[in-house]
Amino acid sequence: MAGRDALLLSLLVIITISLDVAFADQEPHCVYTFYIETGPVEGAGTDSIISVKISDKSGHDIDIQNIETWGGLMGQSYDYFERGNLDIFSGKAQCLPSPICSLTLTSDGSGDYPAWFVNYVDVTTVRVHFKSEHQYFDVEQWLATDTPPYNLTFVRNNCQVT
């Protein structure tokens, strides 16, 4: 019986060490939470697919092709990006080497209501054993082809030039 216990303990130690070695080169993941507020103006809501790219000062980035499917928290039947709503999205991705300071927000212009007025995007980053980080991006414009500035992409770069 003692021999069997020793064998099981040895096997458990080998498996644990193997898992540690296998995952040692994995970069840590962060949890990114996006708070996106659609404006209160008439026709501000959209049915388009929205993508987001966040970057740090070195140009490292995370590209989210469809933020709703990536991390929508409001429920399956919830209608995202409607007039006056604050929508919340959260998901895991590789941690960027330095804090987020740049945002690219893009609408694909699809759906019955493609124009979208965005008030702001607020991003919180949480990483194990680190203080959470927060970056606010003031947007206050349309992402639309029929309303100024006639563009489906918004870019805000808050990175400090050194």
Token pair of 79 as six digits: 């209608």
Task: Confirm if 83 and 123 have CB atoms less than 8 A apart.
Answer: no
Tell me what pLDDT residue 130 has.
82
Pick the CATH number of 27-157 from 1.10.290.10, 3.40.50.720, 2.60.60.20, 2.40.160.20: 2.60.60.20
Asked whether the whole model's pTM tops 0.85, one would answer: no
- Looking at the chain, which runs of residues are DSSP E strands? 29-38, 50-56, 61-64, 86-94, 100-107, 116-126, 133-143, 153-157
What pLDDT is recorded for position 3?
57
- Angle at the Cα of 104 (from 98 to 105), degrees rounded to 5? 135
| pLDDT, tens only, 105-139 | 999 999 999 999 999 999 999 998 888 999 999 99
